[in-house]
Structure 1
Amino acid sequence: MAGMDEIDHRILAALVADARATYAEIGADVGLSAPAVKRRVDKLQDSGVIRGFTAVVDPEVLGWNIEAMIDVYCQGRISPAELRAAWLPIPEVVQASTVAGSADAVLRVRARSVPHLEETLERIREAAAIERTESTVVLSRLIERG
């Protein structure tokens, strides 16, 4: 959105920090009334800056303690749409991106255990024409931004 000002950025930061904050609470932080904050949030939604609101679930609380980054090397040419369709049904794949560089795609995967990760890797490889994968298990996330 081209016309965003400093207050819009502060409203976004407040929503990223706590999407359940009331318009009155945000307004107190940015110096606006609750109706003025609502108008600005509505405008941010209408322009596509805010795509929606969601609950953030902690996968570790649910027992999904293993996180890995998977570099995927495809056989021949596969379209991004084909890769998306192949991996979308695999719930352990929490993010998939095509990339520039030696790998064709990078996946972020969550699993309950190392055997579960291994089984997930097999499903990822079987779902599309994959030449090979390289896995890196995440030890700790140092920074994660919304």
Structure 2
Amino acid sequence: MEHPVESAELRRRVLRGLRENGRASYSRIAAELGVSRRQVTQIVQSAITRGELRLTVSISPDLLGLERFAYLQLSVSGPIAPVRSALAAMPESTFVADISGHYSIDVEVRVGADPHLRSTVDRVRELPGVQEVRTHLYESIEVNRYSPLRTGRTSFVVDEADRALVSHLQRNGRASFRELGEAAGISPSGARLRFERLTRDGAVKVVGIPVRGALASPDGAGAADRVETPSIGVGVKIRGRISAALSSVRSLDPEFIATTIGDYDLIVTLSADSYEELLDQADRLRTLPEVERIETWANLRIVKEQYGEGDRLSASPRTPLADDPADTARQHPPTADPGRRPRDPAHPR
């Protein structure tokens, strides 16, 4: 018996189940929603086909050598399109959106060691049409639904098999462990152990990112409905210590929280399934006792939202972690690694 939830609402609830874990079990999602696994599978596959959902793997900033993060708001004279295209093409940009208010467009940048941030901001400032750049330096990122957080600890490194596994996940975030093993030249059980280690240590995160502003029809036919996940950016000034306010802001289930140095103490991204819910979230944030004031801007059109999924990992000798079962199980002879098969010249990686 099918669940009586309307198709549009059911679609939103199914896709929400993949937000923070793009490999979540379809059977578990179906059981939680009281529908069949077949329904969940059809909804997800249809969303991917119609461009509503992107199942991908995000890579830790630590593994990409990224150390500094900033959020820039730009005022633009003349057409925005050339500026938007230039920002989206920058390898340092992870988020680009047309926004409402005094500033026309915003961009989040992630860079390496200094002076990479300064040179990146200079390039943005020199783009034709850019009149003003308002810069907010992230002191720390506390929440990011779609990306691992930077820890500043790089005790884990990756080897060739890890790199091949991640590369395959970039093409198919829900690839089976058999497929991942074949891509990496290891056994399915070895692929599982390596994947679990990479996710446990915050090296990668498989997520289901909604393609904002996608147009689709619930039944695949007829007039299209806008199925975007509405979101707003919020600059927050805090009363007292920021650490005391973070737990209250986290309770709103935001997509993103960063502590910042500059005009705001926090930059927050709120999203919801409807504009009514989004307005309610903003009101709840505004009335928190720790919040002095907020400034909001609507994300009118998000044109780039990528957190390392297009980047390549560089192979390096792997340092075993003390609690890595794949290495604990490895005996003295190299061939005793249960996760690795002998290389077959006829079966290239």
Task: Report the TM-score range of the alignment, normalised by the length of the smaller protein.
Answer: 0.7 to 0.9
Q: Distance in 2 between matches of 1:88 and 1:44?
A: 24
> How much has 1:17 moved relative to structure 2?
2.5
Q: 2:42 aligns to what SS in structure 1?
A: helix
Q: Distance in 2 between matches of 1:35 and 1:138?
A: 43
Q: Distance in 2 between matches of 1:44 and 1:82?
A: 30
Q: 2:66 aligns to what SS in structure 1?
A: coil
Q: 1:18 aligns to what SS in structure 2?
A: coil
Whether 2:32 is the aligned partner of 1:39: answer no
Whether 2:15 is the aligned partner of 1:12: answer yes
1:126 matched residue in structure 2: 126
Q: In angstroms, what is the RMSD of aligned CA positions?
A: 2.6
1:100 matched residue in structure 2: 100
> How much has 1:134 moved relative to structure 2?
2.2
Q: Distance in 1 between matches of 2:17 and 2:49?
A: 18
> How much has 1:105 moved relative to structure 2?
2.2
Q: More helix by proportion, 1 or 2?
A: 1
1:21 matched residue in structure 2: 24
Q: TM-score, normalised by structure 1?
A: 0.77
Counterpart code for 1:31: G
Q: Distance in 2 between matches of 1:85 and 1:40?
A: 32
Q: Distance in 1 between matches of 2:99 and 2:73?
A: 9
8 Å Cα contact 1:87-1:127 kept in structure 2: no
Q: Distance in 1 between matches of 2:39 and 2:7?
A: 16
Residue deviations 1:11-67, cap 9 Å, x none?
22221121112322322333333223212323444665x332111222233221211
Q: 1:17 aligns to what SS in structure 2?
A: coil
Counterpart code for 1:58: S
Q: 2:70 aligns to what SS in structure 1?
A: strand
Whether 2:90 is the aligned partner of 1:90: answer yes
Residue deviations 1:72-109, cap 9 Å, x none?
233x32x1211122223311122222333332322111
Residue 8 to residue 104, structure 1, CA distance change in 2 (3 Å): closer
1:72 matched residue in structure 2: 74
Q: 1:73 aligns to what SS in structure 2?
A: strand
Report the count of equivalent residues: 141
Q: TM-score, normalised by structure 2?
A: 0.36
Q: Distance in 1 between matches of 2:12 and 2:88?
A: 33
